[in-house]
Amino acid sequence: MDELDPELSRAVDVRYRRTVRTYFLFILVSAATAVAGSMMVPPVSSAGTTVTMPIWVLVFFLAVSAIVARRFLTRWERLRDIKLLRGFEGLLSALQFNIIAISAMSLLIVVAGVASGIYSADRGDVFRSVVISLIVFALNFPRLSTWKTIASNLKDV
């Protein structure tokens, strides 16, 4: 792995810090949604489990698709093509978009869990969706070393 130029390294650092701030903002919004949603859960169930089952299917598909999307969006050939077509800033923009898109999917998991909790009057649904969302967030955490490795390997492309 070659070292990055100081200018490129600075660009990676700036974009990475901005992405991490956005990433943690998504986590905070997810936590606030879960807390607010668990307070809105009614004491009496207004629906049976048959109504909430499609919501849990949605949660499952969102979690699996987030993992698959991460694998697809970080494919080496795709990143190389982005670098060739849009340059170094385009590559950093794509890396940032990948993190934000998958973080948004994690937020949707929490929202679906809150909806399930409200329909079923079960705070456990909210808790389960938060755990699933945290797993997706953890798998999606942006690593600076990975960004620098990608940037240094693609700087001459």
Structure confidence at residue 9 (pLDDT) = 92
Using 70 as the pLDDT threshold, list the residues of the chain that sit under it. Answer: 1-2, 45-50
Structure confidence at residue 110 (pLDDT) = 97
Return the number of other C-beta atoms located less than 10 Å from residue 104's C-beta.
12
Nearest to 109 by CA among 98, 117, 97: 117
The C-alpha atoms of residue 5 and residue 100 are separated, in whole angstroms, by: 26
pTM for this prediction: 0.89
Structure confidence at residue 48 (pLDDT) = 62
The C-alpha atoms of residue 81 and residue 139 are separated, in whole angstroms, by: 24
Structure confidence at residue 46 (pLDDT) = 61
Query: Using one digit for the tens of pLDDT, what is the confidence trace for 11-56?
Result: 999 999 999 999 999 999 999 999 999 999 887 766 566 678 899 9
Structure confidence at residue 122 (pLDDT) = 86
The C-alpha atoms of residue 118 and residue 54 are separated, in whole angstroms, by: 14
**Buried/exposed 109-135: b ≥16 CB within 10 Å, e otherwise:** bbbbbbbbbbbbebeebbebbbebbbe
Environment class of 136 (CB within 10 Å of its CB; exposed 0-12, middle 13-18, buried 19+) = buried
Return the number of other C-beta atoms located less than 10 Å from residue 141's C-beta.
11
Structure confidence at residue 99 (pLDDT) = 97
